Structure 1
Amino acid sequence: MTSHQFELSESPQDAISAVKFASSSPKLLVASWDKHVYLYDASEGDSARILQKYEHRAPVLDLCFGKDDQEAFTVGVDWDVRRVDLTTGEQTVLSSHDAGANAVVYDPAHDMVISGGWDSTLHIHLRSQPDHVPNTIQLPSKAFSISLTATKVVVAMATRAVHIYELDALATAAAQSSQPSPNLLEVEPWQTRESSLKFMTRAVSCMSNDAGYASSSIEGRVAVEWFDPSSESQARKYAFKCHRQTVDSVDVVYPVNALSFHPKHGTFASGGGDGVVALWDGVAKRRIRQYQKYPASIAALDFSKDGRYLAVAVSSGFEDGQEDIEGSVVKVFIRELSDSEAKGKVLK
């Protein structure tokens, strides 16, 4: 199979904040600053179509699918964590942060929703206890990005702090909390780290094999780290420069806005303010390929769960000199990958 790329029709009307594929189908959710969530069917190639859109009260900053492709969870500038029934369009507020909520993930093993916000808290929503007010974990600083594996969740924050929690521990603590009022959980992180990057974190993404994660910064760098706390494993972590261009003999550095790991090959994609998407082999420490430049800054990336598609969200930003809506570029591209396109180097 050869690679193929197509653009989704009916793009959002303002900057895109997140794109997420469903776990069991090629349905794609897109969150936008235009106060809407868009649901697409990406299985039809050039004939891919929008299925529905769901209006919110304020810009939507992050989202994820739930237990199947019929429900989603969203967070945004209105501070709310919402469940959206993608069939009926009904929205239910699960909780409200005390400031903008900007990250949300769903753990299918425990039927648990975890959200983070600028109020420096995590909200833990254990779905088996729907009558209880969600539990709260106090963080040392604002949550910027959250990603999870089969057993852990990584929370990247301001002040370069990184907390890694075990999902079993979070679910157990939430289940043991029987108070019908807001409850502050005293759950210690499994690991507490300082980011390997010197500047503000933009994105974090966990490896598909539950072994570690990658993080990116505003200063054109990506760090790759492993969970194993042994000195041998920690000696493997590294960081590298990327998403930089030489303009008039000046090295121009762009933020790395998005990261996504391939679910089968373990390689990962990065997207930058330079409008470039690159594929990396994190183990072999090499770039696999770099795609032709997109028309504006890369806002978000996500591989489909079967590894067949890569969703690329493009939005004009300050890197493009366009901060207003008029004249800006907002597009979503779907790249259908060839069989070997995202494969890494075979190490001997």
Structure 2
Amino acid sequence: MQNGSGHGCLMANPPTDGITSLRFSNHTDNLIVSSWDGNVRLYDVSSNVLRGCFAHMGPVLDCCFHDDNSGFSGSSDRTVRRHDFANGRSDVIGKHDGAVRCVEYSHYIGQVLSGSWDKTLRCWDPRAPTPQERSIGIYEMPDRVYSMSVVGYRLVIATAGRHVVIYDTRNMSQPEQRKESPLKFQSRCVRCYPNGTGYALSSIEGRVAMEFFDPSEAWQAKKYAFKCHRKSDAGRDTVYPVNAIAFHPVYGTFATGGCDGYVNVWDGTNKKRLYQYQKYPTSIAALSFSRDGRLLAVASSYTFEEGEKVHPPDQIFIRNVNELEVKPKPRPYTAAT
């Protein structure tokens, strides 16, 4: 694997246009990647090999794994597709009336969940033989779906208009909660805590909110928001969108990636930044930790926040993660008085 000059090792054969999503498998070092070039790719990170590539008819806006050798994707061509990289097969699971922005697979209920700019969430059974039979439910959202995340039986959806909708996937008849984002600007990314107690939500205005599912006063007192991915020059702040959030699977700390090209690692419990990696060539479009937290995949890919311009090539870096970068530091001991 080619060395990326302090950023990690470069993956060979990267996408040829903006990277929209990348995710490690839950069981191997396989990495699934979607991009604006209309393709979904599967990489074996350990050997730096592109194992397969499937095309949509338009830009692919999200992807996720089904198992180690197959996955799902959503595209601006309005389709949700399944890709079997082991057998070289790809088929349409279902369709929306607008671009499919988000796709998740819930192992708990065995369903594919897709969120679209048509303002709907749709659920699909990938085991059914035809697209018509795969459709399980269509649920109206308050606005266009921008980001989704699942943990256990909970599904969190962030939409345009700063809406947040939370479902228990065992009962989709109505949302468990409907909330307004505590952040004042457009939501960009939502990711659930690995322990299932809440979620982190980022915005285009350099902030992240730490939220909790439990509506009790004790739990709601723990929520907070913080500023990040901004710089001050001569007393003037430049603020960058926070495009990506990824939780460490062992320690529960998390990484954020912004349009400033930086990846920061945070201890949410102690409200501290643990580490900042060397600046990447361009915007951070997506992040994912491997199943054991040893590796961090970083998509350095311009997100067009400043419009069309000459920019560095789209690249995927794989970092070896040092425990000191992600492990929470113990709180100082205070003797009782």
Query: Is the partner of 1:168 in helix, strand or coil?
Result: coil
1:341 is paired with a residue of what secondary structure?
Answer: helix
Q: Report the 3-state secondary structure (helix = DSSP H, G, I; strand = E; otherwise coil) of the residue aligned with 2:326.
A: coil
Displacement after TM superposition at 1:247 (Å): 3.6
Structure 2 match to 1:235: 221
Deviation track 1:125-184 (CA, whole Å, cap 9, x = no partner) reads 1335445141211111111100010120100111111111112224xxxxxxxxxxxxxx
Q: Structure 1 counterpart of 2:72, which letter?
A: F
Code of the residue aligned with 1:323 in structure 2: it is: E
Give the Cα separation in 1 of the matches to 2:171 and 2:252: 26
Structure 1 window deviating more from structure 2 (123-132 vs 135-144): it is: 123-132
Contact 1:151/1:210 (CA < 8 Å) preserved in 2? no
User: Quick one: structure 1 residues 322 and 248, their matched pair in 2 at CA, closer, same or farther if it must change by over 3 Å?
Assistant: farther
CA contact (8 A) 1:26 1:304 kept: yes
Whether 1:42 and 2:41 are equivalent positions in the alignment is no
1:169-188 equivalences under 5 Å are 169-170=171-172, 187-188=173-174
Question: Does the Cα contact within 8 Å between 2:297 and 2:318 map onto a contact in 1?
Answer: yes
Q: 1:307 — aligned with what?
A: 293
Q: Distance in 1 between matches of 2:13 and 2:158?
A: 33
CA contact (8 A) 1:316 1:322 kept: no
Q: Which residue of 1 aligns with 2:3?
A: none
Q: How much is the aligned-residue C-alpha RMSD, in angstroms?
A: 1.7
Q: Residues 25-62 of structure 1, C-alpha deviation per residue, up to 9 Å, x if partnerless?
A: 00001111011112111124xxx222222222111000
CA contact (8 A) 2:282 2:311 kept: no
Deviation at 1:7, TM superposition (A): 1.0
Going from structure 1 to structure 2, the CA distance change for 1:298 and 1:208 (only over 3 Å counts) comes to same
State how far apart, in whole Å, the 2-side matches of 1:90 and 1:244 are.
44
Which one-letter code corresponds to 2:60 in the other structure? V
Residue deviations 1:306-331, cap 9 Å, x none? 11111100112434x5625x654211
Structure 1 runs (4+) greater than 6 angstroms displaced: none
TM score, norm. by length of structure 2: 0.92
Mapped pair 1:214 → 2:213:
no
Structure 2, gaps ≥5 residues long? 1-5
Following superposition, the deviation at residue 249 of structure 1 comes to: 4.0
Superposed, which structure 2 residues align to 1:1-348 within 5 Å? 5-44=8-47, 48-66=48-66, 68-131=67-130, 132-134=133-135, 135-170=137-172, 187-319=173-305, 321=306, 323=308, 327-347=311-331
- Asked if 2 retains the 8 angstrom alpha-carbon contact of 1:267 and 1:343, the reply is yes
The 2-side partners of 1:283 and 1:233 are apart by 13
- The residue type paired with residue 241 of structure 2 is P
- State the one-letter code of the partner of 1:139: M
Whether the 8 Å contact between 2:54 and 2:90 is mirrored in structure 1 is no
Q: Which consecutive unaligned segments of at least 5 residues does structure 1 have?
A: 171-186
Residue of structure 2 equivalent to 1:180 = none
**C-alpha distance in 2 between matches for 1:125 and 1:79:** 14
In structure 1, what is the Cα distance between the partners aligned to 2:303 and 2:83?
A: 28
Q: Report if the CA contact (8 A) 2:282-2:301 is conserved.
A: yes
Contact 2:102 2:147 in 1 (8 A): yes
- For 1:42, give the aligned amino acid: V
Structure 2 counterpart of 1:330, which letter? D
Query: Whole-Å Cα distance in 1 between the matches of residues 85 and 216 of structure 2?
Result: 44
TM superposition score normalised by structure 1: 0.89
Within 2, Cα distance between the matches of 1:150 and 1:97? Answer: 25
Letter in 2 for 1:41: D
Give aligned-pair identity as a percent. 45
Q: What is the rounded CA distance, in whole Å, between the counterparts of 1:291 and 1:4 in structure 2?
A: 8
Q: How many residues align?
A: 324
